[in-house]
Amino acid sequence: MVRISTFALSLLAASALVEPASAAGPPIAYAKEVGSGFSIFVTNPNGTGTLKLYSGPSKNSLVLDMNPALSGGFNELAVVASRATGFKIIRYSDAGVVQPIQNFDDGCYVDSLDYHPTNGSLLVVRRCNNPQLVELRIWSGGSYGAPIASTDGMNNSYRSARWLGDGSGFLVRYGEVGVGTVIQRRNMSNPSTPSPVWSSTDLGAALNLDTARCAGALDSSCMKFLYGDGADRVHEVRYSDFGMESDTVVIANGWGGRYSPDNSRILHRVRVKNGFTLNVTNPQQETAAKAVYNDADWRP
């Protein structure tokens, strides 16, 4: 059983008094450039209650994902440094007290990782040099399962993957030279058989993939995803069991869209001179002031 120190509990109580509307702790995590590297902070959508959790290695950008389910009573996020292999797990209290950081490093780079909605496993796009391969795997309980899909990464490759809202499968961005980019839907009942839900002849299309959250079974309300087009626009794609139904620009000036827990708001970066601001929509609200941001996520 995980025990929290008396000091940590006192900090938690103090935090609850300062932020009564945020009993579960600040729900947004982001990576911000500080000095020669990036650090991870958590904050509320309006920018209050900001806490610093972690400072990454120098000259590395950071990719992060927040665990929807509490782990042993703590919040949890997974972090990847751009120039390092493997990934780290950071657990912290609502008051920002960080537990010993766990490092999982098998010598391969991680290009994408996403927590399952309920069971704490990670869907990982993993890139290794010896032998050369890019593969999809599920990490759970300290180790990887067998590859779901793999390639040598020469003429085709996987870039990012996100669980479907109910965890029944996932979407993955697949690119192939001479063909372009396809967003594939794969069900865990038969993950080796992909179904396309979106495609483009542009090999660099569909950046920053994010899937909608579900309260229960996958239905039309959460059969949608966000992507960036590389031209400061965030698109929302709606799809069905038969493929794509619509592709709509939902943010005309934004990067890196992430759905809120109920899908009503979108966390995104807005380009300004010499940097970005971190914002949420509906209503449009600044979450963090101008800086260089690398990644952000919103915990349910």
Give per-residue pLDDT as tens, 78-126.
Answer: 999 999 999 999 999 999 999 999 999 999 999 999 999 999 999 999 9
Q: What is 229-295 written as a DSSP string?
A: -SSS-EEEEEEETTEEEEEEEEESS-EEEEE-TTSS-EEEEEEETTEEEEEETTTTEEEEEEE-EEE
- Residue 215: its pLDDT value, please? 86
Rounded distance between C-alpha atoms, residue 292 and residue 38, angstroms: 9
Please give the average per-residue pLDDT across 277-297, as a whole number. Answer: 95
Give per-residue pLDDT as tens, 21-74.
Answer: 334 689 999 999 999 999 999 999 999 999 999 999 999 999 999 998 877 789
In sequence order, the 6+-apart residues with CB closer than 8 A to the CB of 205 are 180, 181, 227, 229, 230
- Residue 182: its pLDDT value, please? 97
Task: Enter the pTM of the model.
Answer: 0.90
CA angle 12, 94, 268 (to 5 degrees): 145
Reply yes or no on whether the pLDDT at 8 is more than 70.
no
- Residue 274: its pLDDT value, please? 84
Reply yes or no on whether the pLDDT at 4 is more than 50.
no
Q: What is the dihedral of CA 267, 269, 270, 273, to 10 degrees?
A: 160
Confidence of residue 5 (pLDDT cuts 50, 70, 90): very low
- Residue 24: its pLDDT value, please? 67
What domains sit in the chain, N to C, each tagged with a CATH number? 1-12+25-103+288-295 (no CATH), 106-264 (2.120.10.30)
Reply yes or no on whether the pLDDT at 211 is more than 50.
yes
